Amino acid sequence: MASTPVLALHGVCKRFGAVQALTDVELEIRAGEVVALVGDSGAGKSTLAKAITGAGPADEGVIEWQGRPASIQRPRDAQDLGIAAVYQDLALCENLDVVANLFLGHEIARAGVLDEIAMERHALELEPLALLSKEPPSVRGVVASLSAGQRQTVAICRAILSRPELLVLDEPTAALGVEQSGRFLDLVERLRDSGTAIMLISHNLGDVKAVADQAAVLRHGRNNGFFDVPSTPQEQIVSSITGVTDNAVTQRTTKTWEDML
């Protein structure tokens, strides 16, 4: 693919105290492309997602947005570029209702006074809100009273509401039902076809296989391979995730550590 990537990461590092969560991570995502980010639990996927969305800025490394270096220090920086996200922990305000959550940070207001009717109308027009949960949440229901699936639906709707150029999805189907997950994948394909760049983090390799064009594997915070999804057998991706390609000794030591943790 010759086009400039919407987002390119070079040498991204992130450290939490003694834990080196990301080391020299490279990644490219193009418009109209779904890139799956896969890796074992604790591999650093969410950390990388947060580095992109500004929720947890990277310590080192270069982030290029449409070919130009960009500085993402706060969530607002990423939003201004056109990046939206569904976080693994959803990041919804439980005490607010669905409409308030959908528009938080981007309220429709006139002279500082909220236009509730306009916001509610937009919310009611959101097709995925009705499609992605078994029982569509009431737009005026408080998030605290919603089921896990309904919350996930709200988080997804909030992310696509801003019509982002890059959509970062961290385990977006974790709480969805089987049928709803299927509809969600349809939605992802539609967004991709309309030119959105999508980064999909998932443990479900079936989902990855179904919609992703590329898969980037993270292992212990480092790149561990890039795959062209349609032409790569699933086993190969799995072995890259679990690291069976590592030599036996390092594998044994990490195994015992993981067992202890």
Partner 1 sequence: MKGTAPGDPESGRTSGRPRGGPGSTTRETTGPDGPDGPDLAGYVRSLFDRLRGGELGAVPVVVSLLVIWIVFQSLNHNFLSPRNVSNIGVDITGPGLIALGVVFVLLLGEMDLSVGSVSGLAAAIFAVMNVNHGVPEWLAIISALLAGAAIGTLQGFFFVRLGVPAFVVTLAGLLAWNGLMLYVLGASGTIDLDEQGGVVALTNRYIHSAALAYGLAMLGTGTFLAVSYRDSRMRRSAGMAARPVWAIAERAVGIAVPAFAAAWILDRYRGVPVSLLVFLAFIVGLDFVLRRTTYGRRIFATGGDLEASRRSGVNVTWTRVSAFTVSGTLAAVGGLFLASRVASVGQTSGSSTLLIDAIAAAVIGGVSLFGGRGTTWSALLGILVIQSIASGMILLGVQTAVQYMVTGSVLFGAVVLDSLSRHSQKVHRLT
Residues that bind partner 1 (CB under 8 A): 53, 55, 75-76, 79, 85, 87, 90-97, 100, 104-107, 109, 112-114, 116-117, 120-121, 124, 137-142, 144-146
Taking Cα atoms as reference points, which of 127, 119, 95, 144 lies closest to residue 136? 127
Residue 226 backbone dihedrals phi, psi, to 5 degrees: -120, 140
* Contact string 60-89 vs Mg ion (x = CB under 5 A): ----------------------------x-
Q: Which is nearer to Mg ion, 45 or 151 (CB)?
A: 45
Which region among 16-24, 92-100, 153-161, 236-244 touches ligand ATP (by CB under 6 A)? 16-24
Cα-trace Rg, the chain? 19
C-beta of 172: minimal distance to Mg ion in Å?
12
Q: Is 219 in the site for ligand ATP (CB under 6 A)?
A: no
C-beta of 20: minimal distance to ligand ATP in Å?
9
Cα end-to-end distance, the chain, whole Å = 41
The residue behind tokens 């509401």 is 161
- Give the full edge-to-edge strand order of the sheet including 34-39: 83-86, 166-170, 197-201, 34-39, 214-219, 222-228
The binder of 130, among ligand ATP, partner 1, Mg ion, none, by C-beta within 5 to 8 A per type, is none
